[in-house]
Structure 1
Amino acid sequence: MAIRRIAQSGSDGWDCRVHTPTNVVSESERTQMEELIPGFVERLLASDIDVKWAAARLLRPLRPIWITRDQHLTMPPDLGSVEFTPIICLSASIAGSTATHNMPFGYVQGAADDHELWAEGLTPRLFWKHRLQLLADRDCCDVRVKELIAKEAVAKSTLDYTEDVGFAFVRDTGLAVGGRTSGRPPECWTRFEAIVNCGAPEYEANKDPALKARYLYLPIPEGKRGQVALGKSIPHALAFLHAYVKRGAKVLVHCSQGMDRSVGIALAVLAQYFDTDGMLHTLLSCDSRFFAEFSLPASMEWE
């Protein structure tokens, strides 16, 4: 619908209704979902996202297609002649209260997307890079995953100090987000005045008591287990970084991969101390209740 509003020509015949599986979503629920779309459209059009760029490249309307464990399909399905652009949504979860019967393991509904916990450290990047090897023999898959993870760990530990250390600044705020190697001493201390480690394995040198005022470790677990700890850690991070942000110092917030945990803390810092244009608030406070909610969606659009 947002695309139709931007690109009026060539989209008159588009079917922009909400399509959902009739055996899972009732008609009343589908209608309620559809009623929310105009509000989402207005928010999208009011954002800084370049919708015109997408409109120029999207030739057919988007439509989600759900594939679950109880379906038997030829993969990939033949969708070449359909009148829409399919978005394939996969679910590995088992519906129903009987899902845990006769299972020798614990089952958590909705946790299929939490690869940090069940994939033994295998990331999407590693999977796609080695997919043929991993899928060649199901019986050896676990062994090969462990071998790949071990090789990846060795490669990361032996990175040349001149290589990309994996961090990026958020506009001109002085706030950077990165992975574990971005917090590696002694180089990190030549780049940043303060560092917040959101649960990544610590470098021994950073545990030096002399760095107590410049280095903060937050024990936030990966994945869904870390949701509660992330929320509790926000006030500590805000208080720690307050003085540094106030004087415009360069600070780093990092976790193991530069995603999830570090991004959550960084968003809290942006919402607390910066306006929607990336400028420091006139009134700075380290009280987490000072959050300006409107700034969160805007800051998430920043590059």
Structure 2
Amino acid sequence: MEYSQILKDLRRESATVRNRIQSIIFDAKYVAQFSEFPIVANERCGLWYVEPKNTAASVYFKSTDGHTGQWKFSLRRLNFHMLDLFQLSQTIVLVDSTRKGKIMPDALLKTVPMWCAVLNYIMFEKEDVDQWDELAKDNWLCTPPEMVSASEHSAMVKLIPEHAREVQKLGLVVKQELIQKLGAHKPLVPHWLYPGKKSRVSASDNQFSICCLTASRKTSSGTNVPGWHYTQPYVQGAADDHELWASPEICEGKLDHNLLWNEIYYEPADDLRVVDMATGDICLWLGEDEFLSRIEKIYTNSKSCKDTSAMDVSPLKNTGISIGAITQDLSFSEITKINDLISHIVVLSSEFAVTNVPKDSSVKIILHRVESSKKGSKQLREILPKIFETISTVSMQDQVIILCDSGKDLCVGLALAILAKYFDRDWNLVSSLPHVNKDVIKQHLCMVLSCRQVNPSRNTLQSVNTILM
């Protein structure tokens, strides 16, 4: 066999689902070494490297918010819920990964440091900071000099006051609220760890530490990785862009971190098991075809055992609006038994619906077949006016439940539109249409984020803005 063909076969082997999962398991063992601290997974990639039972929270710091020349503090991805964890521990570990060619993703290198710096700037503005003089000198920005150039660091420093002013102008968070969430008046300081770096988690009594941890080891070939004893090459950042390799043909497109750790990894049946529990790794004798066949059966079994009564819905305080996910057909009685004041149930889904609706029910069911995609987000421009024709009022006596496939995107868009149309910025019901602009939408989104961890896409927010303004 020619050398080029051997390389081609090796690349094909490294791209198999089996080898990706084994690489994820290998990296997860490294992450597990830090379990003495609360472990936070950065969506989406980081979720794969932490067992759900060991995940204190998940956040969404995007690498694109840290790309050169595009550094920003995202007003859509505030991640303020992570601050509450510091009341449990002065140090938390934030996990992410990246594909080959880099040691660390920009989300950990620059997005998180910018986030910390902006919040510190707000928390210590106009204060004597002699105690933290070294930290405060660059507008509180800390980046690793071996990975972020001095010129890039300097350019980021100049943007921090502007980002802080924007947060303050919108009233998204104030100094006292930050101190209350954290439980003390101390700065947030990022540190960086990755496989092969000879240091431990940094902790100090006079600061809150965010250990930015890369799960995967940097490698160009996938070979010569310490501790990797398998014939196929190691895949750095194997979980990245999982929708490209965990394709719709595999487990109906439902192969994710939850299925891996909650069902596949601990499968007890001998004829289905894929993991050797003596080593915690995938059975060496298991080929790709048999591996895929077994996880398909595990998925089918888990689906048949799923609790059909489970609902994932969050009320938006006392507005009468609740938002959530619909991941299977839901019976009318299952929805209404948790709330007998519902007047409307809105479902924005390409697959699922409300079933067994009584003919004499006064509750209006509004179903729009919308997929969770850029196309679906743009469809909201046609759908929202139609929904407003049906929903003329919202209150605690006339409540609305809004469901979409993810519980984080389309349902949030509709909720924001209703909030902006019928409520003021403090979520008090108003009799006339309030003035609406992009800042108002951002303020409503910030309050939604205090009720549920959501992540509406840019296209969803643009559709809301188009309809309301």
- TM class by shorter chain equals 0.5 to 0.7
* Structure 2 counterpart SS, 1:122: coil
1:14 corresponds to which residue? 135
For 2:388 and 2:365, locate their aligned partners in 1 and report how far apart those are by CA, in whole Å.
10
Contact 1:167 1:182 in 2 (8 A): no
For 1:85 and 1:267, locate their aligned partners in 2 and report how far apart those are by CA, in whole Å.
32
* Structure 1 counterpart SS, 2:305: helix
For 2:347 and 2:145, locate their aligned partners in 1 and report how far apart those are by CA, in whole Å.
43
2:353 corresponds to which residue? 202
2:417 corresponds to which residue? 268
**CA distance 1:21–1:265, change in 2 (3 Å):** farther
Unaligned runs of 5+ in 1: 68-72, 93-110
The residue correspondences of 1:70-85 to structure 2 (distance < 5 A) are 73-74=195-196, 78-81=199-202, 85=210
For 2:293 and 2:365, locate their aligned partners in 1 and report how far apart those are by CA, in whole Å.
37
Contact 1:66 1:91 in 2 (8 A): no
Aligned residues: 267
The structure 1 residue matched to 2:443, chosen from 292, 298, 301, is 298
**CA distance 1:148–1:66, change in 2 (3 Å):** farther
Contact 1:183 1:195 in 2 (8 A): no
2:315 corresponds to which residue? 169
Contact 1:3 1:51 in 2 (8 A): no
The structure 1 residue matched to 2:384, chosen from 231, 237, 242, is 237
The structure 2 residue matched to 1:279, chosen from 417, 428, 432, is 428
Structure 2 counterpart of 1:263, one-letter code: V
For 1:116 and 1:175, locate their aligned partners in 2 and report how far apart those are by CA, in whole Å.
35
**CA distance 1:61–1:172, change in 2 (3 Å):** closer
Contact 1:65 1:88 in 2 (8 A): yes
2:303 corresponds to which residue? 153
1:40 corresponds to which residue? 163
2:246 corresponds to which residue? 118
Question: 1:278, CA displacement in angstroms?
Answer: 0.8
Contact 1:177 1:254 in 2 (8 A): yes
For 2:436 and 2:158, locate their aligned partners in 1 and report how far apart those are by CA, in whole Å.
29
For 2:246 and 2:185, locate their aligned partners in 1 and report how far apart those are by CA, in whole Å.
35
Are 1:185 and 2:332 matched, yes or no? yes
Question: 1:284, CA displacement in angstroms?
Answer: 3.7
Contact 2:320 2:394 in 1 (8 A): no
* Structure 2 counterpart SS, 1:294: helix
For 2:155 and 2:210, locate their aligned partners in 1 and report how far apart those are by CA, in whole Å.
23
For 2:244 and 2:363, locate their aligned partners in 1 and report how far apart those are by CA, in whole Å.
31
The sequence identity of aligned pairs, in percent, is 16
**CA distance 1:30–1:130, change in 2 (3 Å):** farther
Contact 1:230 1:261 in 2 (8 A): yes
For 1:278 and 1:195, locate their aligned partners in 2 and report how far apart those are by CA, in whole Å.
20
2:370 corresponds to which residue? 220
For 1:284 and 1:12, locate their aligned partners in 2 and report how far apart those are by CA, in whole Å.
48
Query: How big is each residue's C-alpha offset from its partner over 1:170-199, in whole Å with a ceiling of 9 and x where there is no partner?
Result: 111111112226953134355522122111
For 1:271 and 1:66, locate their aligned partners in 2 and report how far apart those are by CA, in whole Å.
43
**CA distance 1:229–1:209, change in 2 (3 Å):** farther
**CA distance 1:3–1:127, change in 2 (3 Å):** farther
Structure 1 counterpart of 2:179, one-letter code: K
Query: How big is each residue's C-alpha offset from its partner over 1:20-67, in whole Å with a ceiling of 9 and x where there is no partner?
Result: 6776x6655544433222233234453247311354468664337597
Contact 1:275 1:281 in 2 (8 A): yes
For 2:408 and 2:245, locate their aligned partners in 1 and report how far apart those are by CA, in whole Å.
15
TM-score (norm 2): 0.46
